[in-house]
Chain A
Amino acid sequence: MSRGVEVRVENVSKAFRDRGVTQALKGVSLTVRRGELFSILGPSGCGKTTLLRILAGLLKPDEGRIFFDGVDVTDTPAYERPIGMVFQDLALFPHLSVYRNVSFSLEIAGWPSDRIEKRVREVLQLVRLPFEEFAHRKISQLSGGQQQRVAIARALAREPKLLLLDEPFSHLDYKIRIELIRELKRLQRDTGVTTIYVTHDRNEAMLLSDRLAVMKDGVVQQVGTPEEVYRSPANAFVASFMGEVNIISARAVNGVVKLGGLEISLDRFSPNLGNYTGNVLLLLRPESISLAPPAGDGALKLRVQLAEKLFLGPYTKLLLEGWEDVRLEALAPTREAMPLEPGSVVDVYVEASEVKVYLD
């Protein structure tokens, strides 16, 4: 049973008047499903935190509406929304103990003290902080990771229907971050609360999310599962934001591009571009360039020169030089890359379906 709300954002815009006008959000619409773990991903300044604060009720949009389960909550203040929020700097109450931080929302809601204690125990257990040891400690006595758990526990205390997180793990050590991300995912599955997670780190988003939205300059670029967005990016920005990608500009004439002596018809990559004339961008992930010929004959064979090999452990990055200053990066299993010598000429293979074409 999922206990989360469905969140619908309808055409939300927001501008800030600071020194001149900054349009933080431009007509953003999206839907987050009940019980989903949804990430909003983008570089700093893309509007993701603004959107989150509007969802929390801390900011009001200039235009557009917000719906929780079909109910318009745009004008509802934060303290009347069934939400829990975790902030980037945690914002734990320094003058209160762990117990009082967590019970804060319950005290305000007027719960009887025995019910409060029961719930605090429950929720501290949920975030794996032993009650006896931690309940009466001061915030300053906790480590970064422990404080994080308290912040999450505090947000979950009154069983919110929507959990909002604003880059909560960005200042933690890598190891602790991974651990907390896994725990968050587990927590979310167990409680079923709809969760919206804002981050600039694509790895976090891909690890965590059921679905995600990529934003840039206040506009949603694409929404989908991590796999969808990674493998079928809607545009060049999304493609390069989601991971390393080779970008080749080429000129198509009547649907045909020349790639290093090869004449390739665009309709091998995309059915609609058979007759296109104009500039195109071809995007190709490093791992899509393989050293071994694949089965079947959908693959393109390119002859390139290996400029450098960079050993990365299980994988090796290969810096390839193609035709006319084209430089490609390939990522191959080290086992396959080992015999190759820098400076030698190599044949590489690319599945046509892995090449994405964008009109420039």
Chain B
Amino acid sequence: MSRRAPLPSALVLLAAVPLAYVLATFYLPLLVMLAESLKPQGLSLYVYVLFNPDYAAIMAYSLVLAVVTTASTFLVALPAAYYLSFHVEDEKRKSRLLAAFTVPMLVNFLLKAYALMNVLSVLGLANTYLGMVVGMVYEYLPYMLLPLFSSFERVERRLLEAAQALGARSHHTFLRVVLPLSLPGIASGVALVFLMSFTEFIVPAMLGGVYGYTMGYLIWDLFLKYRNWPVGSALAFMVTLVSLAIVYFYTRWGLGYEA
């Protein structure tokens, strides 16, 4: 047999530890959650939840918010991503600007929401729907910007030159060449932001006031306030399925950016 430097069996055992750990503390709880949702009435609970007017209303509301957030974040991020990729020549400047957008990503949502709360109150936008959307865009901007930027970077500049040589003006080039080619990046940014904003709790809770009752808040309350674990689990499990589906299609596109 081939001889490798470290003792193979010891290494395999060592590598099994993180696997077992994640299995036990992440995947197992998901199964527990599924079981919890099926405990009282089996699958009929899901039917009940989906068709219950109150729950359905909140779900629809969250969906609309997610769509509004995703669309707004996209429109806000697009010009900046475009500028960074196509209008900044100096590599160093480009990466420094990109870093400037990326650094706030590690500051947690709660802090950023709180900071924004300060500013919004001064502007009189506290506890309004608009304020909440501004907060969402604020949080999700880097998550949309990075994939957009990456996919713009991947567009071969020679194609743009070729398009110009064929007589295309800059908006033509953008619509007919750049956008279609960056579709994978756009798709991943959109998928990511949509997924996150659909289940977002912190921003609506802190900035939304009465407008802030979303799926995230509902699940929070079901667990911590109403102690209705089965329904909470059912909602959470549905969210899980949706996330996994989005991730599946996201990786199918083949584009993932590295954190």
Contact = CB atoms under 8 A, between A and B. Distances in A.
Interface of A: 58-60, 77
Nearest to B2: A59
Contacts of B1: 60
Interface of B: 1-3
Nearest to A59: B2
Contacts, number: 7
Contacts of A60: 1-3
Classify the secondary structure of A's interface with B: loop
Closest 3 CB pairs of A and B: A59-B2, A60-B3, A60-B2
A181 B3 CA distance: 32
7 contacts: A58-B3, A59-B2, A59-B3, A60-B1, A60-B2, A60-B3, A77-B3
B79 to A, nearest CB: 36
Contacts of B2: 59-60
Contacts of B3: 58-60, 77
A49 to B, nearest CB: 13
A60 B4 CA distance: 10
B8 to A, nearest CB: 13
A77 to B, nearest CB: 7
A58 B1 CA distance: 11
Contacts of A59: 2-3
A58 B2 CA distance: 8
Contacts of A58: 3
A77 B3 CA distance: 8
B1 to A, nearest CB: 7
B122 to A, nearest CB: 50
A54 to B, nearest CB: 9
Nearest to A14: B2
A57 to B, nearest CB: 8
Nearest to B4: A58
Contacts of A77: 3
A60 B3 CA distance: 6
Nearest to A60: B3
Nearest to A17: B1
Nearest to B3: A60
Nearest to A53: B2
A60 B2 CA distance: 5
B101 to A, nearest CB: 28
A77 B4 CA distance: 10
Nearest to A75: B3
A59 to B, nearest CB: 5
Nearest to A79: B5
Nearest to B1: A60
A59 B2 CA distance: 5
A25 to B, nearest CB: 13
A45 to B, nearest CB: 18
A169 to B, nearest CB: 27
B239 to A, nearest CB: 39
A349 to B, nearest CB: 54
A85 to B, nearest CB: 15
A58 B5 CA distance: 9
A93 B164 CA distance: 46
A267 B1 CA distance: 50
A117 to B, nearest CB: 29
A60 B1 CA distance: 6
A22 to B, nearest CB: 13
A9 B259 CA distance: 50
A77 B2 CA distance: 11
A116 B1 CA distance: 36
